[in-house]
Amino acid sequence: QFNLKSGTPQGSPLSPLLYIIYTADSMNDIPTHTEHGLFADDTALWTASNTMTYLSSRLQQSVDAFESWCKS
């Protein structure tokens, strides 16, 4: 067992609100062809396309944009 010096306690009702505030702008640079959903501490990206190659390309663009936000 160890003591944490930052963060919110597990199960705290404040945790989801702080997560939403912190990640609110994470989807700003996601391409418009990609839909997204944020719930609690989960993030989902999805898109549609006529071909698997184009679908893969669209999703990769979106993942790259999200990864860029995560690194900033």
pLDDT in tens for each of the 72 residues of the chain?
A: 778 788 888 888 998 888 888 888 999 999 999 999 887 678 899 999 999 999 999 999 999 999 999 999
Given its phi and psi angles, is residue 69 left (phi above 0), alpha (psi -120 to 50 degrees) or beta?
A: alpha
Amino acid at 56: S
Report pLDDT for 50. 93
pLDDT for the residue 4? 73
Sort strands 42-46 and 35-39 into parallel, antiparallel or unpaired: antiparallel
Q: Residue type at 57?
A: S
The upper half-sphere exposure of residue 1, i.e. CA atoms within 13 Å in the direction of its Cβ, equals 0
pLDDT of residue 10: 82
**What is the structure's pLDDT at 54?**
94
